[in-house]
């Protein structure tokens, strides 16, 4: 091959390489991604997760796991994507997996998962495995409401350490006094219980922060020994009754939902029966409803995301304990200090069909024309009686 031919071949190869790289960069430019700060650390490191280029209104959970086995079922944080396609979340890097086993992997993945179970983005985290046992706490349950009593198990503590347990927000104050005391055994372990108070001490402020932390301190020195994240989900006590949200607030939300969905939203003429599935409390609600075909709505998750975003703009926050999802139905809830909204979105074939019997919901939805799909939306709005 001549020198000229070699030069032409090299020029073409170089141009092709540049073109392929440019195309790959352009393809990846619009992909959702998350960034971590810091990108390495050990137990109790506060990890900030920043996401961008996500779909507006997408609800995400932040999970953790080894690269080989994937994310654990434990959610360490959650967020909803804002108008600019971004979100932020933070959590304390744990020392143990949800089953209480110590984290011994040096390479971990932080994973952003949407409510349909799909992994939307990942980022590597270099985990500094402690050389000696690290004091750890395991909470059960790890999602609570004020007034709930939970068990706290400690491991890896120095023998005969007098441990005090406190509660605080994720960063700094406010914080409670000592909620429980325990002494570690010869194996460095202890088991005790704490009750989550309704208000922060010394004030009338309700404990309504979503992310809390249980802190174990050395009673003798005051040194912080271990922490464990706690997801706060305020709710009504089971003994209380619900009543329908007041007429003015219900009417205003009816108008807001109508604008958000661009369909007619109906309001029941009478209060509807209502049961809180998480606490057993019952009563009545102001019920809003809407329906339409696939020509009025897109996907199930898109409708739910639009409603969640609408409520968030009105000052409501997600109530994680109510989240349930299937290919044909999704349920979630939003709350304010004195109000609860339970939202259900579901779809079915408009006419009786063997589609859902013979095929999976996803396959059935792919075969049906938009005009053959019926979407139904129900919103129950309640408040303490």
Q: Return d(Cα 143, Cα 238) in angstroms, integer.
A: 16
Q: What does the pLDDT read at residue 353?
A: 56
**What pLDDT, in 10s, does the model give residues 175-234?**
778 888 999 887 788 888 888 887 877 676 778 787 889 999 999 998 999 888 887 766
Pairwise pLDDT comparison (242 vs 289), residue with the higher score: 289
Residue 240 pLDDT grade (very low, low, confident, very high; cuts 50, 70, 90): low
**What pLDDT, in 10s, does the model give residues 98-155?**
766 778 888 999 999 887 778 889 999 999 887 777 788 878 777 777 777 788 888 8
Q: Is the pLDDT of residue 20 over 60?
A: no
**What pLDDT, in 10s, does the model give residues 252-304?**
999 999 999 989 999 998 888 888 776 667 789 999 999 988 888 877 778 88
- Strands, sheet with 211-218, edge to edge from the N-terminal-most edge strand: 143-144, 224-232, 211-218, 162-169, 180-183
Task: Set out the domains of the chain in order of their start, with CATH numbers.
Answer: 33-127 (2.60.40.230), 136-232 (2.60.40.230), 242-384 (no CATH)
Residue 54 pLDDT grade (very low, low, confident, very high; cuts 50, 70, 90): very high
SS3 of residue 70 by DSSP = coil
Instruction: Using alpha carbons, list the distances in angstroms from residue 253 to 43, 149, 246, 257, 384.
Output: 44, 35, 11, 6, 18
Q: What does the pLDDT read at residue 219?
A: 92
Calculate the CA 288 to chain-centre distance. Answer: 25
- Identify whether the C-beta of residue 231 lies closer than 8 Å to the C-beta of residue 142: yes
Q: Is the pLDDT of residue 355 over 70?
A: no
Backbone angles phi, psi at 95, to 5 degrees: -100, -15
Q: Return d(Cα 120, Cα 234) in angstroms, integer.
A: 29
Rounded to the nearest 5 degrees, what angle is found at the Cα of 261, between the Cα atoms of 258 and 265?
40
Calculate the CA 190 to chain-centre distance. Answer: 30
Q: What does the pLDDT read at residue 267?
A: 93
Q: Return d(Cα 292, Cα 302) in angstroms, integer.
A: 14
Cα Rg of the chain (Å, integer): 25
Q: What is the mean pLDDT of the chain?
A: 80
Mean pLDDT, to the nearest integer, of 20-25?
Answer: 43
């Amino acid at each position: 091959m001549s020198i000229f031919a070699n030069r032409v071949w090299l020029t073409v190869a170089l141009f092709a390489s540049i073109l392929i790289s440019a195309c790959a960069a352009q393809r990846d430019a619009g992909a959702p991604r998350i960034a971590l700060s810091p990108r390495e650390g050990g137990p109790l490191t506060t990890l900030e997760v920043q996401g961008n280029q996500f779909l507006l209104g997408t609800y995400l959970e932040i999970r953790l796991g080894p690269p080989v086995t994937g994310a654990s079922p434990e959610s360490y944080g959650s967020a909803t994507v804002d108008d600019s396609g971004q979100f932020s979340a933070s959590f304390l890097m744990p020392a143990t997996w949800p089953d209480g086993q110590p984290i011994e992997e040096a390479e971990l993945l932080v994973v952003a998962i949407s409510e349909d179970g799909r992994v939307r983005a990942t980022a590597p985290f270099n985990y500094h495995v402690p050389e000696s046992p690290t004091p750890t706490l395991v909470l059960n349950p790890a999602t609570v409401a004020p007034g709930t009593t939970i068990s706290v198990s400690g491991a890896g503590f120095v023998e005969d350490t007098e441990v005090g347990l406190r509660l605080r927000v994720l960063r700094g104050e406010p914080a409670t006094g000592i909620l429980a005391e325990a002494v570690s055994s010869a194996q460095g372990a202890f088991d005790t219980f704490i009750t989550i108070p309704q208000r922060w001490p010394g004030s009338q402020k309700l404990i309504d922060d979503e992310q809390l932390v249980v802190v174990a301190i050395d009673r003798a020195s005051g040194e912080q020994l271990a922490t464990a994240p706690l997801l706060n989900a305020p709710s009504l006590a089971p003994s209380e009754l619900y009543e329908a949200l007041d007429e003015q607030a219900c009417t205003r939300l009816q108008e807001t939902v109508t604008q958000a969905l661009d369909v007619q939203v109906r309001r029941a003429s009478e209060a509807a029966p209502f049961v809180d599935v998480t606490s057993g409390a019952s009563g009545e609600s102001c019920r809003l409803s809407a329906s339409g075909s696939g020509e009025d709505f897109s996907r199930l998750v898109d409708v739910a995301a639009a409603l969640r975003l609408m409520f968030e703009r009105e000052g409501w926050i997600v109530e994680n304990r109510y989240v349930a999802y299937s290919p044909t139905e999704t349920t979630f809830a939003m709350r304010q200090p004195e109000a609860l909204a339970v939202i259900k979105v579901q779809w079915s074939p408009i006419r009786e069909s063997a589609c859902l019997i013979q095929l999976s919901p996803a396959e059935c939805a792919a075969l049906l024309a938009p005009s053959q799909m019926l979407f139904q939306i129900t919103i129950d709005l309640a408040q303490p009686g």
